[in-house]
Amino acid sequence: MSVESTPPAAPSLDFIREIIAEDLASGACGGQVVTRFPPEPNGYLHLGHAKSICLNFGLAQEHAPHARCHLRFDDTNPTKEEVEYVESIQEDVRWLGFDWGTHLYYASDYFEKLYSFALQLIDKGLAYVDDQSAEEIRQGRGTLTSPGVASPYRDRSPSENRALFERMRAGEFKEGERVLRARIDMGSPNMNLRDPVLYRVLHAHHHRTGDAWCLYPMYDYAHPLSDALEGITHSLCTLEFEHHRPLYDWLIEHVDGLPSRPKQREFARLNLTYTLMSKRKLLRLVREGLVSGWNDPRMPTLSGIRRRGYPAAAVRQFCKAIGLTKYPSLTELNLLEHHVREELNRISRRVYAVLNPVRVVLTNYPEGQVEFLEIPNNPEDEGAGSRQVPLSRELFIEAEDFMQHPVPGFHRLVPGGEVRLKYAFCIICQEVITDANGAVVELRCTYDDATRRGAKPVGRPKVKGTIHWVSAAHALEVPVRLYDRLFTAEEPESAGEQEGDFTAALNPASLLEVSARIEPSIAEAAPAAHYQFERVGYFFTDPQDSRPGAPVFNRTVTLKEGFTIKPTAA
RNA sequence: UACCCCGUGGUGUAACGGUAACACAGGAGAUUUUGGAUCUCUUAUUCAAGGUUCGAAUCCUUGCGGGGUAGCCA
């Protein structure tokens, strides 16, 4: 017996998912959801692509088993594309956690079909070969406020066009001598409809088709037809293609014999504060050596953030959190960092590392004695187990954990004051030794055996601070790279407005290399492992530069900071 | 200044003609062997003006603001 129950609160759908739900309900897409992620292999994928990947592959997962997502390389411009990029793109999509199964395609696979479709348009009088130069075509196109004028070649006969187009394919023309144009409307307020170029001659070697072609289709022509050939139901792209949609539809409408009629929809691209999301500009950072490469941990590329230690799950969560709209938003970096910390807090082993050491001598601790303390690996995760950490008479603590002249609110070590060494005992600073310049070089302290194991003897003032430490004799020295945001400006693209150069906003302190004193258990660290340096931040063993027994650490993100010493205003 | 798209707390989103809510960020407190985490509480929102309606963030008009578009790039 079925009982009428209150309908479960429908999860709110974004506008794309709403459209898909409607299409599914009306049967407009044949009960299937087929999407595609169509990068051009001309660079590395970045966080903006992650948004698109999560959308397209996510949709396929949500509608399984009546759905799939294709990975298609939009390789119609051989002058910019390389196999290096097609390989990195596949690696990045997989890393993000998605799988295209057998559905790997290349627009270049369709060159022959696309060519025959062009012949068809020519025969219908819907396309013509234009002999004008690029400059003449540009002039003829008109401007945003004035209509274009027809090319003198616009009314060539289909047979003449066909013969010319065949000769273009045969290699009889130099680059720029002839193009194929759609015959639409030179007076259209939409520039894309003013007889857009469909094919151009390019005597270039293609990374897949080699020298088989010297005639290459334009994106606007190849994309809708490739979508149709693959049976894509929903072709999702970013807002700047909005004005291309009428052309997309025009081609689907006028080419006969297409197996499906895909629909293009547009959403806003991702913008993030303190970074760039333009392949062209990222390429410039790489080319000019402003970063170490596409996978520099400061880069917003997927290979960069992966090397920095951002977990794929955090990126997926972030993509879910930012939503999907047509509003050209600017998302705060700290939302991404929030998801990174949330994930890392769950999975990271804790470890003690001192980045900026000050020597502490425990004057009442027996010389030569070493003890091992059992310390949990992750208090958030019982199953993570524990480790033995050596403790001895001489230690290092963080220089920032001691203040000779403390400011109000400082809870850590001060002259004559007491602080807890985490998982060890409390110490009192008895003497401060400084060098000739007054810099603190050593703290002579006494420890209190009654405060072991977190004990708080009654009747004593409360110890507010707990700090991390390492045994001086046992600590390892490891290279640590402290990464910070690449740019100092929220919107680096508009920051260098005067000079018109985003490099003006580069953060000079985006990378600081230091040598850290770290507990010896770290010698076993695997490459590509996440750690939390307690009270400092999350760190990742660099997959490229770490060696067995000799890890190199990248700071993924700092811990959220509570107390900060405010610079005292004069 | 032609056409298209978009305007909801500081930021990003939800509310689909019927009580403006969630997350991040900010603030306060509790708790804590990480000034982390966790848990409470809290500050703050419909671009503007008209109109339709019993009722408008939602529909209409105008204005204002933001974004996009004039590659033989994608």
Token pair recorded at residue A389: 């950490």
Distance in angstroms: CA A225, C1' B68: 24
Q: What three-state secondary structure class fits A326?
A: coil
- For residues A297 and A46, the answer to whether their CB atoms sit within 8 Å is no
Mean pLDDT to the nearest integer, A369-374:
97
Q: Which of A279, A306, A350, A517 is catalytic?
A: A279
Tell me if residue A477 is catalytic.
no
Q: Which of A17, A40, A393, A555 is catalytic?
A: A40
Tell whether domain A23-267 is in CATH 1.10.3470.10.
no
Report how far residue A464's alpha carbon sits from residue A486's, in angstroms, rounded to the nearest whole number: 36
What is the per-residue pLDDT for A50? 98
Distance in angstroms: CA A503, C1' B23: 33
Q: What three-state secondary structure class fits A143?
A: coil
**Which residues, other chains included, contact A424 with Cβ-Cβ below 8 Å and sequence gap of 6+?**
A373, A391, A447, A452, A469
A141: nearest nucleotide, CA–C1' criterion? B70
Give the bridge partners for A443, in sequence order.
Answer: A360, A432
A332: nearest nucleotide, CA–C1' criterion? B11
Kindly indicate the confidence band of residue A496, based on its pLDDT and cuts at 50, 70 and 90.
Answer: low
pLDDT of A460 strictly over 90: no
A375: nearest nucleotide, CA–C1' criterion? B33
- Average pLDDT of chain A is 95
pLDDT of A333 strictly over 90: yes
Mean pLDDT to the nearest integer, A278-307:
96
Report how far residue A510's alpha carbon sits from residue A495's, in angstroms, rounded to the nearest whole number: 17
Kindly indicate the confidence band of residue A570, based on its pLDDT and cuts at 50, 70 and 90.
Answer: very low
Distance in angstroms: CA A480, C1' B34: 20
- Nucleotides of chain B within 7 Å of a protein C-beta? 1-8, 10-16, 23-25, 33-38, 66-74
Residue in this structure with the two tokens 């997502």, named with its chain if needed: A69
Side chain identity, residue A13: L
Of the candidate CATH numbers 1.10.730.10, 3.30.1490.70, 2.40.240.10, 3.40.50.150, the domain formed by A353-468 belongs to 2.40.240.10
What is the per-residue pLDDT for A500? 62
The answer to whether A279-349+479-558 and A353-468 have equal CATH topology is yes
Nearest-5° Cα angle at A174, A173 to A178: 65
Shortest CA distance to A115 belongs to which of A169, A79, A173?
A169
Distance in angstroms: CA A319, C1' B25: 18
- For residues A141 and A160, the answer to whether their CB atoms sit within 8 Å is no
pLDDT of A8 strictly over 80: no
What is the per-residue pLDDT for A181? 98
- For residues A271 and A330, the answer to whether their CB atoms sit within 8 Å is yes
Give residue-wise pLDDT tens across range A257-273.
999 999 999 999 999 99
pLDDT of A497 strictly over 80: no
Token pair recorded at residue A370: 């070493």
Element (H, E) at A118: helix A111-123
Pick the range with the lowest mean pLDDT from A233-247, A349-363, A496-510.
A496-510
- First-to-last alpha carbon distance for chain A, in angstroms, is 78
Q: Which CATH architecture has domain A279-349+479-558?
A: Beta Barrel (2.40)
pLDDT of A380 strictly over 90: no
pLDDT of A27 strictly over 90: yes
pLDDT of A101 strictly over 70: yes
* Strand residue runs (E) in A159-316: 179-182, 197-201, 215-217, 234-238, 263-267
What is the per-residue pLDDT for A6? 43
Kindly indicate the confidence band of residue A461, based on its pLDDT and cuts at 50, 70 and 90.
Answer: confident
Distance in angstroms: CA A516, C1' B54: 71
Pick the range with the lowest mean pLDDT from A135-149, A387-401, A450-464, A531-545.
A450-464
Tell me if residue A40 is catalytic.
yes
Q: Is A37 exposed, middle or buried (0-12, 13-18, 19+ CB in 10 A)?
A: buried
**Which residues, other chains included, contact A163 with Cβ-Cβ below 8 Å and sequence gap of 6+?**
none
Give residue-wise pLDDT tens across range A425-436.
999 999 999 999
Give residue-wise pLDDT tens across range A199-218.
999 999 999 999 999 999 99
Token pair recorded at residue A286: 């790489």
What is the per-residue pLDDT for A569? 38
Distance in angstroms: CA A248, C1' B70: 19
pLDDT of A364 strictly over 50: yes
What is the per-residue pLDDT for A562? 82
Token pair recorded at residue A126: 């819907």
Q: How far is CA A74 from CA A97, A105, A269, A282, A437, in A?
A: 21, 9, 18, 20, 63
What is the per-residue pLDDT for A564? 79
Kindly indicate the confidence band of residue A4, based on its pLDDT and cuts at 50, 70 and 90.
Answer: very low
Bond into A65 cis (ω within 30) = yes
pTM: 0.95
Shortest CA distance to A317 belongs to which of A300, A295, A342, A347?
A342
pLDDT of A162 strictly over 50: yes
Nearest-5° Cα angle at A318, A315 to A324: 125
pLDDT of A105 strictly over 90: yes
Q: Which of A269, A281, A284, A485 is catalytic?
A: A269
What is the per-residue pLDDT for A470? 98
Give the bridge partners for A201, in sequence order.
Answer: A215
Give residue-wise pLDDT tens across range A386-408.
999 999 999 999 999 999 999 99
Percent of chain A surpassing pLDDT 70 = 96
- For residues A175 and A120, the answer to whether their CB atoms sit within 8 Å is no
What are the boundaries of each domain within chain A? 23-267, 279-349+479-558, 353-468
Element (H, E) at A358: strand A357-362
A327: nearest nucleotide, CA–C1' criterion? B6
What is the per-residue pLDDT for A309? 98
- For residues A417 and A463, the answer to whether their CB atoms sit within 8 Å is no
Tell me if residue A230 is catalytic.
no
Q: Which residue is nearest to nucleotide B15 (CA to C1')?
A: A12
A401: nearest nucleotide, CA–C1' criterion? B35
